[in-house]
């Protein structure tokens, strides 16, 4: 009996072991299948920073053959570097070379350089042939050896938006991006600096390969020392780091929007310049130089804690020191309009006085007298002779600040400038005569568009678009309309007139207004519209065209029927606010990221122009006497309209 039980027990044991083994084997294979699939999924969804190495191309740049000319160039100095005995300075819309105090050469995005705003300069000096590195906001890095420009373009878009660079003694350069991490490059490849910084939003860099200070947009600063990363947050006045200066003794000064933190060997020493928005820092001979946004330039002796203000050549220059340039034993401050020695002889390099006040153009119009009116996003208005450009007449105040639209009354020659703070009315001589705003009866002070009526009372009839509805100015009186009266949405962006009806494109669809009443309204719910947000409009060849936020341009009729175009399918297309223009030859639309869209008369196929534009973000359009103007967020150019079809 015991033997029989023992044998039965052994058989059961073998069966259990075999079953367990089979189960384990099945589980193992299942795990391997899951592991393989999981790994494949992780690789497929991996960001470029996670993989360490990033694909990139290195291309020699050639000047664009497009025949666009600059109307005005905004200097807007942002960064400077000494290279091959000359001083190179970049603004967002140009790279300048100064030699012996004189401007010798200018290169512009869209012509000699990629069509993206320029960010910063750095010199890679620890190689046989030094190189000037030019960071751009979307075009990667441009490398210049004094003869040719080469573009180092990452294969993925987030890595193309460069925020900062730092040359290292080992001949490599740290390249920071806004969202894709921190990389190191030898000019031929781009590799992740360290996995710790794969997704860090870097704003500024300082130090060297032994100790690197890495400022972030909202996560304090990282201190990299001997292969170890220390995260510094609570010691800072603010988590946003705007500027950094570092010395060779493991000390750094971290600039934020509300002051400076002095950090030594990774530990807080003290706070300086409390409350100051610190956009630039430099240490020299025991003094910390601080460039602030609104408190001038401060010199802080590091033995004491009380800063002393430094007066620049003008109050504006003192308020806007953006960077510093070390040149031998001297230290220079980079302001928007000049580069000057901080404690020496003053002005050294100055921008031209006839430049544009800003590169971000939001409205453009050439009037009947040949004057070009240029509206900016946040710098008011410039008026310049379009035929013989010289020093522009500049308007900037509490009203003329953020310009949305410029229109001319062809009967009287008056100019209406729509702004975020009112509708400024200029007479034919260019003098400001009146501001229409909420206090004077307009439904809102923020004016987005204006339409002079083409009926018999054209000289006295005007429609004003605002985020609160419409106002009608007729024979000296004002009346208004909004959603209560049937308008599809209060926020009106654009106006057009066709067959006696005013079409108001809004955030929530489009309304047709006739004789002061809403005749019909159309949205995605009751028409063939694919987007409710109407940003621009134009009448071309007797038909109404609408620019949308997402679906490009569509043709629209009074019954709500929509004709879409294949050129805008397959990807998202935003048409910038009121960036549409109809001429006798074509319909034009300014896109946010795809350049200038053109539809020739008699055709149904759009084509896109990008060569020669200073940016792919086209924000304003105009044409006069065959001269075509294209405003972008990085400058204003013009070209003969005929040349667009050659």
CATH code assigned at 528? 2.40.128
Regarding whether 159 and 61 lie in a shared domain, the answer is yes
Handedness of CA 346, 350, 355, 361 (dihedral sign): negative
Residue 637 domain flag: no
Query: And the tokens for 25?
Result: 């084997």
- The beta-strand segments (E) located in 367-508 are 371-376, 381-385, 393-395, 403-408, 415-419, 422-426, 432-436, 449-452, 461-466, 469-474, 477-481, 492-498, 501-506
pLDDT range class, residue 314, cuts 50, 70, 90: very low
Q: Which helix (H) or strand (E) holds 41?
A: helix 2-45
Regarding whether 438 and 503 lie in a shared domain, the answer is no
- Return the bridge partners of 169, or none: none
**pLDDT above 80 (res 560):** yes
Handedness of CA 515, 520, 522, 528 (dihedral sign): negative
pLDDT range class, residue 389, cuts 50, 70, 90: low
Regarding whether 504 and 465 lie in a shared domain, the answer is no
Regarding whether 272 and 156 lie in a shared domain, the answer is yes
Range of the domain at 399: 361-473
Regarding whether 153 and 253 lie in a shared domain, the answer is yes
Residue 299 domain flag: no
Mean pLDDT of the chain: 88
Query: And the tokens for 469?
Result: 């509805």
pLDDT tens column, 459-498: 568 999 999 999 999 888 899 999 999 999 999 999 999 9
How big, in percent rounded to 5, are the helix, strand and coil portions of the chain? Answer: 10, 50, 40
Indicate the number of domains in the chain: 3
In whole angstroms, what is the distance from residue 137 CA to residue 633 CA? 12
Range with lowest mean pLDDT among 65-74, 412-421, 439-448, 481-490: 65-74
Mean pLDDT of 296-320: 62
In whole angstroms, what is the distance from residue 397 CA to residue 406 CA? 17
Q: What is the pLDDT of residue 66?
A: 82
Q: What is the pLDDT of residue 622?
A: 98
Q: List the Cα angle 607/135/163 in 5-degree steps.
A: 105
Pairing of strands 330-334, 509-514: unpaired
- CA-nearest of 243, 231, 166 to 200 is 231
Residue 39 domain flag: no
Domain end point (choices 273, 289, 305): 289
pTM score: 0.85
Regarding whether 75 and 187 lie in a shared domain, the answer is yes
Q: What is the pLDDT of residue 83?
A: 97
Regarding whether 488 and 437 lie in a shared domain, the answer is no
Which residue did the predictor score with more confidence, 554 or 39? 554
**pLDDT above 50 (res 543):** yes
Which phi and psi (to 5°) does residue 241 adopt?
Answer: -105, 125
Domain end point (choices 289, 309, 341): 289
Q: List the Cα angle 276/279/280 in 5-degree steps.
A: 110
- The whole-angstrom distance between residue 495's C-alpha and the CA centroid of its chain comes to 26
In whole angstroms, what is the distance from residue 152 CA to residue 187 CA? 7
Helix-then-strand count for the chain, H and E = 2, 57
* Strand, helix or coil for residue 38: helix
Regarding whether 465 and 395 lie in a shared domain, the answer is yes
In whole angstroms, what is the distance from residue 191 CA to residue 175 CA? 10
Query: And the tokens for 611?
Result: 């060569």
**pLDDT above 90 (res 457):** no
- The whole-angstrom distance between residue 269's C-alpha and the CA centroid of its chain comes to 36
Residue 32 domain flag: no
Question: What is the end-to-end Cα distance of the chain in Å, rounded?
Answer: 106
Buried b (16+ CB within 10 A) or exposed e, 219-249: bbbbbbeeeeeeebeebbbbebbbbbbbeee
Q: What is the pLDDT of residue 494?
A: 99
Kindly list the strands in the beta sheet with 635-640, ordered across the sheet, starting from the edge strand earlier in the chain: 69-70, 635-640, 627-632, 618-624
Are 74 and 359 contacting, i.e. CB atoms less than 8 angstroms apart? yes
**Using the 8-state DSSP alphabet, how is residue 109 labeled?**
B
pLDDT range class, residue 307, cuts 50, 70, 90: low
Residue 304 domain flag: no
Domain end point (choices 455, 473, 491): 473
Q: Write the CATH number for 468.
A: 2.130.10.10
Residue 43 domain flag: no
Regarding whether 548 and 450 lie in a shared domain, the answer is no
pLDDT range class, residue 343, cuts 50, 70, 90: confident
Regarding whether 509 and 376 lie in a shared domain, the answer is no
Regarding whether 567 and 528 lie in a shared domain, the answer is yes
Please name the residue that has the structure tokens 């109050």.
Answer: 315
Regarding whether 199 and 125 lie in a shared domain, the answer is yes
Residue 572 domain flag: yes
Q: What is the pLDDT of residue 39?
A: 37
């Amino acid at each position: 009996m015991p033997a029989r039980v023992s044998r039965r027990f052994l058989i059961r044991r073998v069966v259990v072991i075999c079953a367990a083994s089979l189960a384990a084997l099945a589980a193992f294979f299942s795990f391997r299948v899951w592991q393989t699939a999981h790994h494949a999924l992780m690789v497929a969804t991996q960001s470029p920073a996670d993989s360490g190495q990033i694909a990139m191309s290195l291309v020699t740049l050639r000047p664009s053959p497009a025949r666009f000319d600059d109307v005005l160039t905004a200097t807007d100095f942002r960064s400077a570097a000494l290279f091959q005995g000359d001083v190179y300075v970049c603004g967002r819309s140009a790279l300048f070379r100064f030699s012996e105090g004189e401007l010798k050469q200018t290169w512009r995005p869209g012509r000699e350089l990629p069509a993206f705003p320029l960010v910063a300069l750095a010199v890679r000096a620890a190689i046989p042939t030094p190189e000037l590195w030019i960071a751009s906001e979307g075009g990667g890095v441009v490398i210049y050896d004094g003869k040719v420009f080469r573009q180092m373009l990452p294969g993925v878009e987030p890595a193309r938006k460069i925020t900062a660079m730092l040359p290292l003694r080992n001949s490599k350069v740290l390249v920071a991006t806004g969202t894709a991490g921190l990389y190191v490059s030898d000019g031929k490849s781009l590799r992740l600096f360290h996995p710790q910084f794969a997704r860090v939003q870097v704003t500024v860099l300082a130090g060297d390969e032994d100790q690197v200070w890495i400022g972030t947009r909202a996560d304090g600063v990282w201190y990299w020392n001997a292969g170890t990363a220390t995260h510094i947050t609570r010691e800072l006045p603010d988590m946003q780091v705007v500027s950094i200066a570092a010395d060779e003794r493991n000390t750094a000064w971290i600039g934020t929007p509300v002051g400076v933190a002095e950090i030594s060997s990774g530990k807080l020493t003290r706070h300086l310049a409390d409350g100051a928005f610190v956009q630039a820092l430099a240490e020299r001979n025991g003094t910390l130089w601080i460039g602030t946004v609104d408190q001038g330039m401060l010199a802080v002796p590091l033995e004491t804690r009380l800063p002393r203000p430094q007066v620049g050549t003008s109050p504006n220059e003192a308020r806007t020191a953006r960077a510093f340039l070390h040149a031998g034993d001297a230290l220079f401050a980079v302001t928007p309009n000049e580069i000057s020695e901080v404690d020496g002889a003053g002005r050294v390099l100055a921008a031209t006085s006839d430049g544009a006040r800003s590169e971000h153009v939001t409205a453009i119009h050439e009037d009947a007298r040949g004057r070009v009116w240029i509206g900016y996003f946040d710098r008011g208005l410039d008026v310049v002779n379009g035929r013989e450009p010289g020093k522009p007449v500049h308007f900037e105040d509490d009203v003329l600040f953020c310009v949305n639209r410029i229109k001319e009354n062809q009967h009287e020659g008056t100019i209406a400038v729509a702004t975020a703070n009112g509708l400024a009315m200029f007479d034919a001589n260019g003098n400001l005569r009146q501001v229409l705003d909420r206090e004077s009866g307009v439904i809102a002070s923020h004016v987005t568009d204006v339409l002079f009526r083409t009926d018999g009372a054209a000289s006295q009839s005007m429609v004003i678009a605002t985020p609160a509805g419409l106002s009608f100015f007729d024979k000296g009186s004002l009346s208004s309309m909004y959603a209560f009266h049937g308008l599809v949405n209060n926020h009106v962006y654009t106006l057009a007139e066709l067959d006696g009806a005013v079409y108001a494109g809004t955030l929530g669809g489009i309304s047709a207004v006739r004789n002061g009443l809403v005749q019909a309204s159309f949205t995605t719910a009751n028409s063939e519209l694919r987007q409710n947000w109407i940003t621009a409009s134009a009448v071309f060849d007797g038909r109404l065209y609408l620019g949308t936020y997402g679906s490009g341009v569509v043709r629209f009729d009074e019954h709500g029927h929509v004709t879409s175009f294949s050129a805008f399918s397959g990807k998202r297309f935003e048409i910038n606010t009121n960036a549409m223009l109809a001429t006798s030859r074509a319909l034009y639309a300014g896109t946010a990221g795809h350049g200038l869209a053109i539809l020739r008369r008699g055709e149904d196929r759009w084509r896109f122009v990008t060569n020669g534009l200073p940016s792919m973000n086209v924000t304003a359009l105009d044409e006069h006497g065959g001269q075509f103007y294209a405003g972008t967020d990085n400058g204003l150019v013009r070209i003969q309209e005929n040349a667009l079809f050659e």
